[in-house]
Amino acid sequence: MEKLSHKRILIIGSSGAGKSTLSRILARKWNLPLIHLDAIFWNAGWVPTPKPIFHEKIKKHLEKDEWIIDGNFDSTLELRAKYADLIIFLDFPNILCTYRVLKRAFIYRGKTRPDMAPGCAEKIDFPFAKWVWRFPKDARPGIVEVLREVRNADICILRGPQEVKGFLETAP
């Protein structure tokens, strides 16, 4: 069996792209600890953690030897990228991500997803749906810019579910 050379993996992309699903699969496959940024940022009742505290919590995780971290939070992307040795960007079409977010909201309505903080029942509102829809125009350019500057990590851009499937089939 091929030895895994990556021990600090960052998974980024739009909501609905499948970051949490992929991160769970890879954490099991590669036996790495998994950190969901949503679970660190949100508190019960969808109360956000103040940014300075959130950044400190992230930094403590980043300093560990091994991890998979999934999530967006553009305010910390550059910092997280500096610690990663593999960055997987799920660069999916907004129509697919929007559909998946709506489907997820239906499946988990009134319940908390496994990758979310306790007390944060699944919900969808117009600003969030708009953010997902506009992700390619509003958030993607900033991600691409950060990735252009990365020198310490391998970067893997997957553009759809078939590419994720191929990645999983060929990953050690």
**Residue 44 forms part of a structural domain:** yes
**Residue 2 forms part of a structural domain:** no
**Residue 35 forms part of a structural domain:** yes
Would you give per-residue pLDDT tens digits along the chain (172 residues)? 355 689 999 999 999 999 999 999 999 999 999 999 999 999 999 999 999 999 999 999 999 999 999 999 999 999 999 999 999 999 999 999 999 999 999 999 999 999 999 999 999 999 999 999 999 999 999 999 999 999 999 999 999 999 999 999 999 8
CA gyration radius, the chain:
15
Q: Could you tell me the CA-to-CA distances from 42 to 37, 46, 54, 115, 137 in Å, in that order?
A: 8, 6, 9, 11, 25
Is residue 69 within 8 A of residue 76, CB to CB? The reply is no
Is residue 36 within 8 A of residue 70, CB to CB? The reply is yes
Q: Chain-centre distance of CA 18, in angstroms?
A: 8
Total domains present in the chain: 1
State the pTM of this model.
0.95
Q: d(Cα 24, Cα 19) in Å, to the nearest integer? A: 9
CATH number for 15: 3.40.50.300
**Domain coverage including residue 14:** 8-170
**Residue 60 forms part of a structural domain:** yes
